[in-house]
Amino acid sequence: MLRFIIRRLLITIPTILVVITLTWGLVKLAPGNFYTTDKSIPRAIRQRIKEKYGYDKPWYVQYAKTVWPIIRHLDFGISLKYQGQSVTSIIVRSLPVSAGVGLMAYLLALIVGITFGSIAALKQNSRWDYASMAAAMLGISIPNFVVGPLLVLVFSLTLYWLPPARWDGLFSRHTILPVLTLSAIYMAYIARLTRAGMLEVLRSDYIRTARSKGLRERDVVIRHALRAGLMPVVSFTGPALAFLLTGTVVVEKIFALPGLGNYFIQASLNRDEPLIIGIVAFISITLLLMNLLVDIAYAFLDPRIRY
């Protein structure tokens, strides 16, 4: 197990490097650059800007200048558009917003999803089951950028209960609608996965044994079935994170939240090279680490799996 973890961690480093290189290459290819405004700049000033940021040097020099500080001390440089703000400080500042909303949404989704999914599995083919699964299907099919504005329409613009946008700290009225919007789709997925996983497990031999041993139903469910039945949910967490990012971007745009997703879109549109690379690297590391965690969790849940 330990060797497996170390091996994975070691592989992470070259993977991230490749990711950074690819991103850097793509940004270089894109036309337009960060200092373009709607009033054009006299040529000499433009030339000077180029020199300052090293854009007139050959590509391998630029590449080295970008990548070497990252390797040495994780220095992603300074944002080109947001003068004087280091990429790291931007990420540190916007991460709590995205992570906060994302985690709260996912937690909500887990709680609601697992509950309803288990109930559906236990009361298979009942009204509960059909209702939950229909609702879950709805959740998967309605895009989050439809759910969000509809929620805004009802609870904000009509009833004036909640604010339609902006951010005021994680535990404020402003967070409610974004979290609800983001969690909708995950609630649905998790409910379905839980139900499927539980059904599979509930039919298996060792559950039958547990039941025939005379254990209480609750023990059977919670101590035995849930553990194995949640495996699909656990494995879903990996790609769920990728979804969470794009979902967060949409939610951040609708509700004007100062999170990582919003910064990322702005950075891409602004051709803000260091910021783009910084955020991409950060996301990649997070994804890879989370996938590793998921694999480890998998091992805990299913003793048959061994690395």
Site for another protein in 112-141 (CB under 8 A): 124-125, 137-138, 140-141
Nearest to 20 by CA among 65, 54, 57: 65
When binding is defined by CB under 8 A, the residue of 62, 88, 115, 266 that contacts another protein is 266
When binding is defined by CB under 8 A, the residue of 5, 176, 238, 290 that contacts another protein is 238
Near another protein in 55-74, by CB under 8 A:
none
- Number of neighbouring beta carbons within 10 Å of residue 134: 10
When binding is defined by CB under 8 A, the residue of 70, 90, 105, 110 that contacts another protein is 90
Q: How far apart are CA 202 and CA 221, in angstroms?
A: 8
CB of 124 to another protein, least distance (A): 8
Q: Convert residues 270-289 into a mask of x (bound to another protein by CB under 8 A) and - (unbound).
A: xx----x--xx--xx--xx-
CB of 29 to another protein, least distance (A): 6
Q: Does 96 bind another protein (CB under 8 A)?
A: no
Q: Fill in the amino acid letter for 261.
A: G
Q: Convert residues 8-47 into a mask of x (bound to another protein by CB under 8 A) and - (unbound).
A: ---x---xx-xx--xx--xx-xxxxxxxxxxxxxxxxx--
Between 220 and 261, CB nearer to another protein: 261
When binding is defined by CB under 8 A, the residue of 70, 224, 263, 301 that contacts another protein is 263
Total residues interacting with another protein, rule: CB under 8 A: 106
